[in-house]
C-alpha cells in the first residue's frame, strides 16, 4: 500500500505533466520516472477531501484520465460535491 498525503492540485499538476512528458518521449529526466517521486506512482484509489469550493480542475482531469478504479470523496460542501459529481460521474 502506498499513500500520499498532500496538496491534490500540486500532485495532479505534476502527474499530468509527467504523463505528457512520457507520451512525448525526449526531454524526460530520470527523476521524472523514479519510483521515489510521489507523483510518479500509480494509484488505484483516489481519496480526496477538497475545500468547500470543490476539486481543483486539474484534480478532476487527473481523476478521469488516470489509472484510478475508485474515487473516495469526502465532502462538507453540498454544492461543490454536486458540481464535482456532475464532472466525475461521467467516468465513475
92, 67 Cβ separation under 8 angstroms: no
Distance CA 59, CA 10 (A): 9
pTM score, whole prediction: 0.66
Please report the pLDDT score of residue 73 as a whole number.
94
3-state secondary structure of 80: helix
What is the model's pLDDT at position 21? 67
Dihedral sign for Cα 60, 66, 69, 72, please. Answer: negative
CA nearest neighbour of 71 among 62, 59, 63, 79 = 63
31-85 pLDDT, tens digit each: 444 555 666 677 788 889 999 999 999 899 989 988 888 999 999 889 999 999 9
What pLDDT was estimated at residue 35?
52
Residue among 73, 75, 78 nearest 91 (CA): 73
89: pLDDT strictly greater than 60: yes
Amino acid at each position: 500500500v502506498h499513500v500520499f498525503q498532500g496538496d491534490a492540485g500540486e500532485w495532479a499538476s505534476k502527474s499530468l505533466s509527467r504523463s505528457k512528458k512520457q507520451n512525448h518521449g525526449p526531454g524526460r529526466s530520470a527523476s521524472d520516472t523514479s519510483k521515489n517521486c510521489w507523483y510518479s506512482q500509480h494509484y488505484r484509489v483516489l481519496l480526496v477531501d477538497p475545500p468547500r469550493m470543490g476539486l481543483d480542475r486539474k484534480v478532476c482531469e487527473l481523476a478521469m484520465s488516470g489509472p484510478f478504479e475508485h474515487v473516495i470523496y469526502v465532502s462538507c460542501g453540498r454544492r461543490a460535491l454536486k458540481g464535482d459529481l456532475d464532472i466525475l460521474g461521467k467516468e465513475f
